[in-house]
Amino acid sequence: MVQIARDDTFTGIEYLQVVNSVHEYPTHFHDQVYTFSLMESGGYFWEKNNLNSIVSPGHIAVINPGQVHAGKPVDSHQSTYKVLYISNYYFNKIVEEIGVGPNIEFRKVLLRRNSIVSDFQNLFNSLKNNCVSLEKEANLILFLSGVLNYNYYEEKITDYCSNDQLIQIKDYLRESLSEKISLDELSNLVNLSKSHLVRAFKKTEGVTPFAYRTILKIEYAKQQLKEGLDLCEIAQNAGFHDQSHFTNAFKKYLGYTPRQYKCL
């Protein structure tokens, strides 16, 4: 099974999900596109500019724009993997925001760090599920920051913001639960770049601004459930897309549904 899609928010990103494939890729390249492939099961033997490697489960293969490569399943076994294609234009836009020059050429073929794999999965899922732009953009920044730190950057990217800036961000998130907000708004609020803000916030709070805001929404919803409000009304008041989105988020974080909580 092969599914490929283009994100409706970030038109420079396409994503591909392949399940149980034995497809052999002939020698080719991707013009003006950075490619990141996460192997989930099986494995592929990659040939890249005379540098051969096996992409095993839990590894991310990195292919630079224009880099000639070919691939085939290891021992003809079926493989399941996910791929992110990020255009040069959009990639350069993000990495310059992070503070790294354009037209990067990655040196390492494979990434094996669990945190980067987790960031890849979070980004892929937020694209596939067409989450709000705040979540998708934060996940993209975190993934590329991790890749750059592991695979390219000579000095580790510094993550810092003041306590006053953190309070401003958290207050703004708390006061705008039912409104659509963007990373641009948050960065302008505290005069930090979007990439710096996302990394610093997660380093200090342990979650992204989007996840922090979702938790605030759930806590707000719990209070309204105690007051006996209707689930549909609560979902709207808390800024969820609909009642289904509210229920899914509530259960994800708490392990039980809003209706179960209401009946306590």
The pLDDT, as a whole number, for residue 153 is 57
Distance of CA 2 to the CA centre of its chain: 21
SS3 content of the chain, % helix, strand, coil (to 5): 45, 20, 30
Q: Which of 185, 248, 239 lies closest to 217 in space, CA to CA?
A: 239
Domain boundaries, the chain: 2-137, 158-264
* pLDDT value at residue 154: 47
Q: Which CATH architecture has domain 158-264?
A: Orthogonal Bundle (1.10)
Q: What is the pLDDT of residue 150?
A: 81
Pick the CATH number of 2-137 from 3.40.50.300, 3.40.50.10140, 3.30.70.120, 2.60.120.280: 2.60.120.280
Residue 134 has pLDDT above 60, yes or no: yes
pTM to 2 decimal places: 0.80
